[in-house]
Chain A
């Protein structure tokens, strides 16, 4: 487990200091899609320079190193409790040596634990896999973008949104319209649809782990993802909310079966600095 611990510390370091290639590529395209001498282009220029500086100097891209969120797939026979404890050890070490900003605050005492561990912190989702390899996905989820997430129950008459994919679209557009530039656009959007509140919030967050070029297996959802991206960009909010052609880099949608009475839509917002990575063990 010591080697695994060091592997997770390395994963933390990679995720905190270098943006995934697909997101960086998306930002470069956004830069070329904005007109010269605009506020949005100027913002994107600084963002791209910052990404390079973070990588070159091994410093976290953003001071908000977020809530660490782990999605772990465990082969049969490996102890999930051991893995969880190893993640906690790695988190303490990573916080000190990278460093990460300590973000775990006790609700009652308002004390920051100082090492990014606490009750339910980091967030760890464990699941058994039939494969023989351990797969650890990590996202460092910034607070500003997390705050811009929304959950909807359809139908929603104020949005003229019925229980269908058109209704889902309206929810996503509403979430972006409400967020404006406050959560660091261009955004990545994760959408989860299903039967219960707890399930869709996790599902929407998992969508943020998908690469931007990952195509939805469902034809209908693939089309919805692409149409939504076009329409979000037509809102004109732009990088940093300065106005511009690119408000989002991608939309990813996941679905579960729903109850006849329920139709929940959850939206997770990822900032331009959506930091994620995978360790295969």
Chain B
């Protein structure tokens, strides 16, 4: 394994600006989850910060719909890997700006609009391992709370979680570096050779 940087959440602007695409990190502290419905809700209903039961400013939003086991009143996280981040591309830039997030955890990377929002608002995109849901659930120490559970269901609710040494890699940083974009342009060259004809334009 490659050496990694330990980070405590909430993150400061300095923390985030010091990170570079390619850095391996381990996050410890409180994070929140949110996926498709939470993003749509935040943008359409625009709840005020005080209506949200958790502190989002400085926090990290994990694109994750966890698998929860209920036994009586007790809830336990069984499996909790990332979901595809690109689905919330149309919302993410505004959510980062409105709620002061300092980090996103997900998989697959995001688009140009989010990359610009990361630069403008000093926020960073952490990529964790898709499908490694048991491994990652082991790094979640505690459920601290949940919001919108009845309305949205367990997968789409916002969970407030305490994590310890949660592993991820910075793939999009505050300086405009984007590993996904680099890989896509590299594979596009090979793809154009296979397809033949006129070379396709590099991905903008």
Contact = CB atoms under 8 A, between A and B. Distances in A.
Interface string B66-84: 1111000000001111011
Contacts of A110: 37
B133 A63 contact: yes
Interface in A42-68: 42-43, 45-47, 49-50, 53-54, 57, 59-65
Contacts of B204: none
A54 B84 CA distance: 21
B134 A57 contact: yes
A108 to B, nearest CB: 15
A177 B184 CA distance: 8
A19 to B, nearest CB: 10
A60 B79 CA distance: 7
Interface stretch (A189-197, A205-213, A237-245): A237-245
Contact of B190 (A43, A61, A235): A235
B43 to A, nearest CB: 16
Given A63-B67, A236-B186, A238-B183, 12 more contacts: A42-B24, A45-B1, A50-B131, A61-B131, A111-B153, A144-B130, A173-B195, A177-B187, A180-B184, A181-B183, A243-B183, A272-B131
Interface in B181-204: 182-184, 186-188, 190-191, 194-197
Contacts of B156: 112
A64 B65 contact: yes
A101 interface: yes
A181 B108 contact: yes
Nearest to B130: A184
Contacts of A102: 153-155
A57 B69 CA distance: 14
Main secondary structure of the interface of A (DSSP, over half): loop
Interface residues of B, number: 53
A209 B16 CA distance: 44
A99 interface: yes
8 contacts: A47-B129, A144-B130, A147-B84, A159-B195, A173-B194, A174-B191, A235-B191, A237-B187
A198 interface: no
Contacts of A100: 67
B64 interface: yes
Contacts of A63: 64-67, 78-81, 133, 137
B83 A144 contact: yes
Interface in B40-87: 64-69, 78-81, 83-84, 86-87
A59 B81 CA distance: 13
B106 to A, nearest CB: 10
Interface of A: 37, 39, 42-43, 45-47, 49-50, 53-54, 57, 59-65, 99-103, 105, 110-112, 114, 142-144, 147, 159-161, 169-170, 173-174, 177, 180-184, 231, 234-238, 240-243, 271-273
Contacts of A105: 153
A184 to B, nearest CB: 4
Contact of A184 (B2, B68, B79, B131): B131
Contacts of B155: 101-103, 112
B107 interface: yes
Contacts of A43: 129
Contact of A59 (B134, B169, B188, B194): B134
Contacts of B109: 180-182, 241
B134 A241 contact: no
B160 interface: no
A49 B81 CA distance: 14
B50 to A, nearest CB: 26
B180 interface: yes
Given A60-B67, A182-B109, A114 B153 contact: yes
A37 B179 contact: no
Contacts of B196: 160
B135 interface: yes
Contacts of B131: 47, 50, 61-62, 142, 184, 271-273
Contacts of A37: 2
Contacts of A49: 132, 135
B107 A54 contact: no
B34 interface: no
